[in-house]
């Protein structure tokens, strides 16, 4: 449980994708989400599929982790596939059995749309499976840096984000402690009528708020004592390094985009 | 002055984590479809808005959703549900804040929260009808719902759900506010 709180879905491993710069991974996934909608015929879907498989292969993520992300939607995808099969009545009639009629266009649409859906889920999961949330935050901060020109507080946002990531496990522990303390006094959290269970949350939340403000005060003093003066000229503990791998993979992505634009009908 | 700013930054971060933790403890409400979940993650956002001003409340809502997206991902790949949650939360927090500015008392707080629930329910229904449900059907590739179907869905599920959700959060927040209001007053750096 605790592990899950700190790293989200991150699967620690050593692979090309894990070593990629979070910036290029963010760009990659963002572009991919955009270009997935360009595909509209067999060739373009195969190209996208090959790219997705290549990325998944390079990430070395075991299949069960990917499946865990797909599981909630598999049913939905099958449902939409069936809807398309039976409801789209265009193109040639392929199959007829009593009242069941399957048309060419329905089959095509159904399969393409399910594929597109799988590609989207797999690629977005790939980002969260191979990158820790703190790396994503760092990546976003540097990517959004140009926004500083229009007075958008990029550094402050990233700081708040990292603090909140850092304190999720701590506050979870605290919640657990308060819960046990209240249980020792006879509060029931997991049984009884809903109304009572809701009321039981109140003596949990109030100490949590008060203690988190105490922590905030202490952290503010500590940061001041160490000379925190905002983002200007601040150095970093985790440096982002752009390597040749990032350039190669983004070039691949660019080629894929061009191919998609050329081959789409 | 400077320390206040650092403290505000840190507190918003912490309230976002509390909000995220509360979001994990969500539960569906029996008569409604189970993609509509109730949680208390709006409570830290309202507290942030009372202590550090309306912008802080919006930021807590934003971080909560970004954290959840990073940690658990989204069923549609593209965060449609998270965006909807962010918009709903923002509307709720901002309307509470601005109604409370006019009526500054415990009773005023109840009015503000109930008013905000109604505003949120109405605005979210409109948004769902025009933007969110179509976006879902687009990304999930379910054949688009017809207009009467969408209207039926909005009227029978989304409108009452948001109202009930708002009212439950109101009840919860009032219990907490009664005990915490003097403490909130002491912490407040945002002069009402």
d(CA A33, CA B69): 15
d(CA B3, CA A219): 11
Which pLDDT band, with edges at 50, 70 and 90, does B1 fall under? very low
d(CA A50, CA A43): 11
Cβ <8 Å between A206 and B139: no
What is the residue-level pLDDT of chain A in tens, covering all 265 positions? 555 555 667 888 888 888 899 999 999 988 998 888 888 888 889 999 999 999 999 988 888 888 877 777 777 778 778 877 777 677 677 777 666 777 777 788 888 888 888 888 888 888 888 888 888 888 988 898 888 888 888 888 888 988 888 888 888 888 888 888 988 988 877 777 777 777 778 888 888 898 999 999 999 899 889 888 877 778 888 888 889 999 999 999 999 999 998 888 7
Which pLDDT band, with edges at 50, 70 and 90, does B192 fall under? low
* Pair B28, A126: CB distance under 8 Å: no
Cross-strand partners of A100: A97
Cross-strand partners of B37: B28
- Both structure tokens of A131: 């990158």
ipTM > 0.90? Answer: no
Predicted pLDDT of residue B92? 92
What contacts B133, CB < 8 A, 6 or more positions away? Answer: B145, B150, B153, B154
Cβ <8 Å between B143 and A164: no
Helix (H) or strand (E) holding A230: none
- pTM for the predicted model, two decimal places: 0.82
- Both structure tokens of B94: 């901002």
**C-beta atoms surrounding A169 within 10 Å:** 18
- Both structure tokens of B134: 């179509």
Contacts with A, B 55-84, CB within 8 Å: 59, 63, 66-67, 70-78
d(CA B19, CA B45): 7
Nearest to A55 by CA among A44, A66, A64: A66
Chain A residues with beta carbon closer than 8 angstroms to that of B176: 202, 205-206
What's the first-to-final CA gap in chain A, in angstroms?
Answer: 48
Place of tokens 């790939």: A126
d(CA B96, CA B56): 13
* Pair A55, A125: CB distance under 8 Å: no
Nearest chain B residue to A176 by CA distance is B21
Predicted pLDDT of residue B190? 65
Nearest chain B residue to A36 by CA distance is B139
Predicted pLDDT of residue B165? 87
Q: Average the pLDDT over B15-43 and give the result.
A: 81
Predicted pLDDT of residue B34? 67
Contacts with B, A 235-264, CB within 8 Å: none
Nearest to B168 by CA among B2, B22, B7: B22
Nearest to A117 by CA among A85, A70, A84, A82: A70
- Both structure tokens of A134: 């703190």
Q: Is B182 exposed, middle or buried (0-12, 13-18, 19+ CB in 10 A)?
A: exposed
Chain B contact for A82 (CB, 8 A cutoff): no
Domains parsed from chain B with CATH numbers: 2-23+36-187 (1.10.1760.20)
Which pLDDT band, with edges at 50, 70 and 90, does B16 fall under? very high
Nearest to A131 by CA among A242, A33, A10, A21: A10
Cβ <8 Å between A224 and B176: no
CA distance A160 to chain B (A): 5
d(CA B159, CA B153): 9
Predicted pLDDT of residue A222? 92
| Statement: residue B145 has pLDDT above 80 | no
Chain A residues with beta carbon closer than 8 angstroms to that of B77: 33, 117, 120-121, 123-124
Q: DSSP letters of chain B?
A: -HHHHHHHHHHHHHHHHHHHHHHHT-EE-TTS-TTSEE--THHHHHHHHHHH-HHHHHHHHHHHHHHHHHHH--TTSS-HHHHHHHHHHHHHHHHHHHHHHHS-SHHHHHHHHHHHHHHHHHHHHHHIIIIIHHHHHHHHTPPPPPHHHHHHHIIIIIHHHHHHHHHHHHHHHHHHHHHHHHHHHHH--S--
What A50-59 contacts at long range (C-beta under 8 Å, 24+ apart), as own/partner pairs, is A51/A252, A51/A253, A51/A256, A52/A119, A52/A122, A52/A123, A55/A17, A55/A123, A55/A126, A56/A122, A56/A126, A58/A15, A58/A16, A58/A17, A59/A13, A59/A15, A59/A16, A59/A17, A59/A18, A59/A126, A59/A129, A59/A130
Contacts with B, A 103-132, CB within 8 Å: 113-114, 116-117, 120-121, 123-125, 128
């Amino acid at each position: 449980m605790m592990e899950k709180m700190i790293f989200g879905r991150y699967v620690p491993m050593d692979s090309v994708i894990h070593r990629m710069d979070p910036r290029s991974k963010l760009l990659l996934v963002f572009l991919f989400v955009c270009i997935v909608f360009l595909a509209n015929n067999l060739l373009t879907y195969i190209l996208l599929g090959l790219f997705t498989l290549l990325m998944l292969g390079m990430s070395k993520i075991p299949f069960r982790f990917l499946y865990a992300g797909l599981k909630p939607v598999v049913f939905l995808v099958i449902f939409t596939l069936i809807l398309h099969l039976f409801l789209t009545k265009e193109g040639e009639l392929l199959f007829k059995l009593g009242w069941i009629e399957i048309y060419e266009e329905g089959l095509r649409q159904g399969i393409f749309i399910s594929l597109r859906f799988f590609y989207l889920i797999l690629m977005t999961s790939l980002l969260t499976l191979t990158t820790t949330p703190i790396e994503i935050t760092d990546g976003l901060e540097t990517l959004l840096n140009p926004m500083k020109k229009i007075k958008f507080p990029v550094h402050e946002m990233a700081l708040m984000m990292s603090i909140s990531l850092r304190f999720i496990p701590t506050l979870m522990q605290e919640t657990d402690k308060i819960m046990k303390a209240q249980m020792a006094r006879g509060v029931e959290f997991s049984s009884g009528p809903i109304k009572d269970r809701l009321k039981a949350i109140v003596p949990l939340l109030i100490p949590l708020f008060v203690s988190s403000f105490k922590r905030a005060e202490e952290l503010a003093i500590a940061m001041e004592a160490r000379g925190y003066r905002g983002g200007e000229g601040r150095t970093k503990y985790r440096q982002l390094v752009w390597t040749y791998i990032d350039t190669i993979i983004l070039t691949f992505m660019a080629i894929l985009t061009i191919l998609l634009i050329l081959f789409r009908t | 002055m400077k320390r206040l700013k650092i403290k505000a930054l840190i507190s918003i971060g912490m309230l976002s984590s509390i909000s995220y933790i509360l979001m994990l403890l969500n539960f569906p409400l029996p008569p409604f479809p189970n993609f509509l979940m109730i949680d208390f993650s709006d409570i830290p956002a309202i507290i942030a808005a009372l202590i550090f001003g309306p912008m802080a409340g919006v930021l807590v809502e934003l971080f909560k959703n970004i954290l959840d997206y990073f940690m658990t991902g989204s069923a549609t790949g593209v965060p449609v549900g998270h965006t909807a949650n962010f918009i709903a939360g923002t509307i709720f927090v901002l309307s509470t804040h601005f109604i409370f500015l006019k009526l500054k008392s415990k009773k005023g707080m109840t009015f503000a929260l109930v008013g905000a629930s109604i505003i949120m329910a109405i605005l979210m229904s409109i948004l769902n009808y025009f933007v969110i449900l179509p976006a879902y059907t687009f990304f999930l590739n379910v054949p688009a719902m017809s207009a009467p179907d969408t209207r039926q869905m909005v009227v029978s599920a989304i409108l009452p759900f948001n109202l009930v959700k708002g009212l439950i959060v109101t009840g919860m927040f009032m219990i907490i506010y009664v005990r915490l209001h003097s403490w909130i007053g002491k912490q407040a750096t945002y002069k009402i």
